[in-house]
Amino acid sequence: MLIIKTLNLMKKILGMGNALVDMLYQLPNEVVLQEINFPKGSMQLVDVEQSEAVLLKVKNLPVQQLSGGSAGNTVHGIAALGAPAGFIGKVGKDDLGEFFHQDLKNAGIDAGFILSETATGKAVAMITPDSERTFATYLGAAVELCADDLKSEMFEGYHIFHIEGYLVQNHELLQTALRMAKNAGVLVSIDMASFNVVDANFDFLWEMVKEYVDIIFANEEEAKSFTKMEPEDALNEIAKYVQIAVVKIGAKGALIKKGEELVRIQAVGTNVIDTTGAGDLFASGFLYGLLNDWPLHKAGAAGAIMAGKIISKIGGRLAGDEIAEVRAKIAKL
């Protein structure tokens, strides 16, 4: 019998972000947060000693461990839907670094890791019964990713380059990555990640957007920090400078604009357990749609399905049966 092998001609996406291992703990109450004096719902940057001290407090609780980071979550979601994907990040020469690499490899993601003598970064997420997440984040090797680590060939063969906003704080790294992506003919997508990052890098971020960026994802707070406007006006302002602007408005869904086309996406109703990765997985569904040349309303609906599913469970990653479920729903769009 003759077997004909066909090449995968689907467009590819490359992500770059902080390579952090997510360690998710469900707390029975808020006692641990009180003991370590972390405001509930906050994200605290900690050093390695503080990180270990937090882990001691939760060591007797069950843990779910996943390769994470915002761009990592998005790329995982896209790979789960069946698109070819790659990732650039920096990890330590340790067990967590090997775990991160293997986790991406198991998902079919082509991982371009730079190795460091510093320990791999980790985000300890403590989830209280009200679904609020409080993070103790040790950036470790992830934050050492620098412009000198990047090579132009890393961007070749990709159609979209997606970067998380947390990297905006390293101006040389971001500008180098965006320039290399554009030189390779790749569309640039950025998730703004946090309103405080936008505030702290306001002028530089606007400069990068005007010069290099094609697709922007922002939530209400980030869009307001970036434009000083409410969601719809912010969307219109951002859309003047990029091909596609997306403003996520929580339970109200999302607004998407391309040129004169404006699309309103309804959120997918579900029981909220943990909002970890909701924005990341919305980007997964939407960018997957763009890779398939779908219209905005269909790509946005795919994003809403992904986001709606991820908030109904603990953690920012879909399991096998959940992937099958969202793929089936998206296939009906």
* CATH code of residue 284: 3.40.1190.20
What are the counts of helices (DSSP H) followed by strands (DSSP E) for the chain? 12, 14
Provide the 3-class DSSP secondary structure of residue 309. helix
| Strand pairing category for 121-127 and 133-138 | antiparallel
Of 22, 41, 43, 40, residue with least CA distance to 31: 40
**Burial class, 55, CB count within 10 angstroms (exposed 0-12 / middle 13-18 / buried 19+):** middle
Assess if residue 61 is contained within a domain: no
Quickly state the pLDDT bin for 7 (edges 50, 70, 90).
very low
| Total domains present in the chain | 1
Assess if residue 44 is contained within a domain: no
Distances (CA, A) of 218 to 118, 142, 193: 31, 23, 7
The string of pLDDT tens digits covering residues 287-314 is 999 999 999 999 999 999 999 898 887 7
Assess if residue 2 is contained within a domain: no
- Which string of DSSP letters, residue by residue, matches 203-215? HHHHHHHHHH-SE
Kindly state the average pLDDT of the residues 263-289.
87
Kindly state the average pLDDT of the residues 306-333.
86
What gap in Å lies between CA 279 and CA 286, rounded to an integer? Answer: 11
Assess if residue 155 is contained within a domain: yes
Range of the domain at 180: 13-19+67-120+140-331
Kindly state the average pLDDT of the residues 232-245.
97
Structure pTM? 0.89
Measured at the CA of 214, the angle between CA 209 and CA 220, to 5 degrees, comes to: 70
Assess if residue 104 is contained within a domain: yes
Lowest mean pLDDT among 51-65, 102-116, 312-326: 312-326
Assess if residue 46 is contained within a domain: no
Assess if residue 241 is contained within a domain: yes
Quickly state the pLDDT bin for 56 (edges 50, 70, 90).
very high
Assess if residue 311 is contained within a domain: yes
| Chain Cα centroid distance, residue 96 | 19
Kindly state the average pLDDT of the residues 14-40.
92
What gap in Å lies between CA 87 and CA 212, rounded to an integer? Answer: 20
